[in-house]
Amino acid sequence: MQQVPKSATQTINYDSAEQTINSTHDKELMQMKLALDHTTIVAITNLQGIITYVNHKFCEISQYSPSELIGQNHSLINSGYHPKSFFQKMWTTIAQGKIWRDEICNRAKDGTLYWVDTSIIPFLDNDGNITGFLGIANDITQRKRTEEELQKLFLYELEISRFFTLSLDMLCIANFEGYFIQLNPTWEDVLGYTQAELMAQPYIEFVHVDDRERTLAEARKLEIGIKTIKFENRYLCKDGSYRWLEWSVAPFGEQGLLYCTARDNTKRKQLEIALQAEVKKRIRIEYDLRLLTTKLEQSNRELQDFAYVASHDLQEPLRKIQTFSDRLKSKFGDVLTEQGKDYLERMQNAAKRSQNLINDLLAFSRVTTKAKAFTVIDLMDVLKGVLSDLEVKIEQLHAQIEIEDLREIEADPLQMQQLFQNLIGNALKFHRLDITPIIRIQGQVLESHDINSPSDLEITQWYQITIADNGIGFEEKYVDRIFNVFQRLHNRDTYEGTGVGLAICRKIVERHHGELTAHSVLGTGSTFMITLPLQQVAQDGFSGE
């Protein structure tokens, strides 16, 4: 209790209080007092709130002795729990001669808190004046603690209920008999059923028939206390579709309950299934490609072998045709009629064309079968050798050759020579009769990000060579056709050739992991672009074919 404004202070010790009681009460009241001392907390104060009497129970709960309490006010045991207004209201009530009752939290001598249900009764004299106050209290500490724990439990359950209700995951409680007994609203959002519909029948009835055996096996493990960390099955929706759910479940055997969390993973599962199907498809495609590649390689080897053998087998009869036609012309040319001479000339021309065709076929097959290892070469040196071989033709046509310095690259020197020979030879062959042939040859280094890489290999730098002429040109719709074997855009009577040269060029470039393309304008000229790696990357022996 708080002290009221001081007036005359009364001091009553324990012995005088006993004497007062003994003098005013009979033996029965004394026995009641003894009983109250062991069950009820009693204190008496004067008008100023100074303690004049405390019983045994008061001392026991407060841990203070009577001598420590008498002469003090109740601020000695004030816990600070209640605001000042609480005690002001108390004094206002008892100062009016009314009984005040409430629950008070006090602090014992050792600092522990205890709760008492307290009633304060004013003492009145015969004239109705207040002479002091009697405080009677019961220890309710355990009850308050229980109430506090219950309040905490209530708040905890309230939070759990909020979490259960507001969670975006599918939360539920099921029993070992196979029924849902509580579900949160997310189930209705995902599956479309009401909670009542989901709880009306065993949950296994909602599981896809193909997943039921696995689901029941998982449930048996839960019954023996094994947690489910991650389990997936399909659940039926009200619209007839199925959703993939991923489960985490904790069993509580004593309660016979399963506490479950499920998450709708349908989109992820569909993506996973689609990816698996795509992987299987790609594996199949890769297998088919490997099989096709193997067949193509075998077919190419057979074709190369056939071309090589056929070319060699055709060499001998052609040589005999050429030899005997030459003898026929030298020995019997004078006696042949003009028609006979014409026939002989045609036969010799046909034999020559056949010989050229055989040589070109041999050259085509040898691009891979007789290839040399890649080595660092100076393209300027290679080009000078080619121009030297074509010197006579260049002089005859008064052709102008414009060259920018070419650099070193890693390549097969003989095949580079053949590549230049064919492309420059074509530029000279397909010239316009009314103007001087001009051939420009130049090169430049390209980074991998500057071009669409013609190879799957990790090549960072490329070298592009362009050979441009001012010849007859061709229509660009034929740009792919000109690189095929035996493809010609002109009559052989107008321009000689076998139609194999450009096919050889492309095959050489592809063997070097590069690309050969062309642009042309009919009647204006053509530009051939050769894109090659500056440095070759070894792959399956290609760098040393």
Distance CA 405, CA 331 (A): 54
pLDDT value, residue 386: 87
Highest-confidence segment of 18-27, 223-232, 501-510: 223-232
pLDDT by residue (tens digit) across 469-512? 998 888 787 677 777 755 555 555 555 655 677 888 888 888 88
Nearest Cα residue to 47 out of 130, 120, 103, 113: 130
Q: Are 64 and 76 in contact (CB under 8 A)?
A: yes
Distance, C-alpha 543 to centroid of its chain: 38
Structural domains of the chain ordered from first start: 14-139 (3.30.450.20), 167-264 (3.30.450.20), 271-370 (1.10.287.130), 371-544 (3.30.565.10)
pLDDT value, residue 193: 95
Whose tokens are 């708080």? That residue is 2
Say which DSSP state 5 is in.
P
Strands annotated E in 423-511:
438-447, 461-469
Q: Are 357 and 486 in contact (CB under 8 A)?
A: no
Q: Give Cα separations from 162 to 78, 158, 159, 165 (angstroms).
A: 39, 6, 5, 5
Distance CA 509, CA 515 (A): 6
Looking at per-residue pLDDT, the higher value among 126 and 356 belongs to: 126
Confidence bin at 289 (pLDDT 50/70/90):
confident
pLDDT value, residue 109: 94
Distance CA 320, CA 315 (A): 9
pLDDT by residue (tens digit) across 54-96? 998 999 999 999 999 999 999 999 999 999 999 999 999 999 9
pLDDT value, residue 358: 65
pLDDT value, residue 4: 41
pLDDT at residue 182 above 60? yes
**What does the pLDDT average to over 329-354?**
77
pLDDT value, residue 27: 66
Looking at per-residue pLDDT, the higher value among 435 and 298 belongs to: 435
pLDDT at residue 7 above 50? no
pLDDT by residue (tens digit) across 135-157? 999 999 998 888 888 877 776 66
